[in-house]
Structure 1
Amino acid sequence: MNSFLIVLFTSLIINHGASEKTYNKNLDNTKKQRECIDILTENLISQNWSEDEKPCLDEILKTIVNIKNSTLWATWIWDSNQLPVGQLMGSKHHLGNYDQCISDVIGTTTPPFRTKYCLADIVLHFNEVPKLSAQDIDPYGRTEEQINMKTEWNQRFNVITWGVCVPQTCQKESVKKILRTLLGQSYLGRLKLQSHINIENCELAGEAKNHVDGFNIILFQHNQMFLYKEKH
């Protein structure tokens, strides 16, 4: 009987310790998630916003506050965006969800402000001569070398086409600030790269209903302009 009680008591202590560790781990993860969006907020605010751009910043900050409260309209906007993925394998298009962004009604109600979907061309610059073969890349070397590589088929990994959902009030310069801040949240933001951002097309929520397929039209126009620039 005494042996049973000792084993039971020991088991309770071990399980309590494991539960406490699990709780603390979950608490740390919650803090990290909260800190990420807080860091994003701080980085946005630290940008040099002109008076004309303040309405955009105010609506972005309003969105972030409501994201932290899990408000649907704000999470809806946030969920239509995505960070770049697969860039090291040549995935240059990171388009998010166009339809979700340009929807002017969520359920049966309109959000507090209109959004727009913008396509941006981003070129990441690294001040070294590009390597021409994957065989020249050291997997224990710097990630910048892969990003900067130019293959024998002229494929580059430093070019990004990024679709982003922002408030209607955001001007092109404001969208660039938002993209630079979001870029800083990805691993690309930790690399020693300079980014050149060009905004070509933006489409306002609700207006795409006039198109047969608004996304294909905006993407076609964007690609035509991008190809023209590459040739000239």
Structure 2
Amino acid sequence: MRLACLTVVTLLFCNVTAIKLGYVPFFGNDNENVEFFDAIAVLIKSSDSLNPICKNHTLLYLKDLKSYRIWASDMFDASTKFSSGLLYGETYDFGNYDECIGIVVPNKYGEFTGRPCLAKFTVEPPKTYKKKEHLSDYRKFYNQSMLDQVFSQLGDPSGIPRNELYFTYCIPSSCSNEDLEIFLGDFLNLNTINQFKIKAEVDKNNLPA
């Protein structure tokens, strides 16, 4: 789960051009050399579902983020990364609202601004998964998978679901909530090396500001 979520939410500034993905079908046998930006750019360019202006602005964002341009760096900085306390129930991260809405980018495809958008990720356990109990007893369960902690609140209405994560992305204002959901879904489908299914949802009723 951590690997899949990290692929969605991280572009580490210290080495943003060297992040690798799992197997990406459209790169064929050259997957060992696939870099994060290359895969994302091809995914966006090949999408027939994203609106054209959103697509152009997002490709510009990736290009300028790779070059460390200030506006793109601010847009990334305002977005959720991998927040602390997820295994403890801290599953909401709202990014930096003021930083995001303060971004204004003049561009040949039309000026755009930053817009915060909240996405929900649900990590679904395998059908054969059996819930573990009393995971806080480290003497007994020190060797358990952290996924057992993620699924520890399943079926408990009084607990906070730890398999539901809410991350906020600062996206171009030309992109709709549906555009973000389509992109996240397509991107998660690239993660063929993970046995756990992760679903992304963005509230369609939360209209662009």
SS state at 1:156 partner: coil
Does 1:35 find its partner at 2:34? no
Structure 2 counterpart of 1:39, which letter? F
Alignment of 1:150 with 2:147, yes or no, is: no
Corresponding position of 2:198: 195
Q: Deviations over 1:21-46 (max 9, x none)?
A: xxxxxxxx999432228414414533
The structure with the larger Rg is: 1
Taking only aligned residues, the RMSD between alpha carbons, in angstroms, comes to: 3.6
Q: Which has the higher contact order (CA 8 A, sep 6+)?
A: 2
Q: Which residue of 2 aligns with 1:67?
A: 65
Shift of 1:135: 4.7
Q: Please list the CA deviations of residues 46-78 of structure 1 after superposition, one character each: whole Å capped at 9, or x if unmatched.
A: 366225434323211211211122211111111
| Partner SS for 2:116 | strand
> In the alignment, does 2:135 pair up with 1:131?
no
3-state SS, counterpart of residue 51 of structure 2: helix
CA contact (8 A) 2:112 2:173 kept: yes
Distance 1:182 1:76, change over 3 A: farther
Q: What amino acid maps onto 2:112 in structure 1?
A: F
CA–CA distance in 1 between the matches of 2:194 and 2:137?
A: 19
1:45 counterpart residue number: 42
Q: Deviation of residue 179 (structure 1)?
A: 3.9
Q: How does 1:143-182 map to 2 (within 5 A)?
A: 143-150=146-153, 153-179=158-184
Distance 2:81 2:177 in 1: 19
Number of residue pairs matched by the alignment: 170
Name the aligned partner's letter for residue 116 of structure 1: R
Task: Name the counterpart of 2:119.
Answer: 120
- The answer as to whether partners of 2:125 and 2:151 remain within 8 angstroms in 1 is yes
CA 1:178–1:40 in 2, change beyond 3 Å: closer, same or farther? farther
2:55 is aligned, of 36, 44, 57, to 57
1:182 and 1:80, CA in 2 relative to 1: closer, same or farther beyond 3 A? farther
Structure 1 CA distance, aligned partners of 2:102 and 2:186? 24
Moved over 6 A (4+): 181-184
CA contact (8 A) 2:173 2:208 kept: no
TM-score (ref. length: structure 1)? 0.59
Unaligned runs of 5+ in 2: 1-11, 21-34
Residues 50 and 182 in structure 2, CA contact (< 8 A), matched pair in contact too:
no
Q: Following the alignment from structure 1 to structure 2, what is the Cα–Cα distance between the partners of residues 77 and 142? A: 34
Partners of 1:52 and 1:156 in 2: how far apart?
A: 31
Structure 1 residue 79, shift from structure 2 partner: 1.1
Shift in alpha-carbon separation, 1:100–1:203, aligned structure 2, 3 A = farther
Q: Identity of aligned pairs, percent?
A: 18
Cα separation, 2, equivalents of 1:96 and 1:182:
21
Which structure dedicates a bigger proportion of its chain to helix? 1
1:15 aligned partner? none
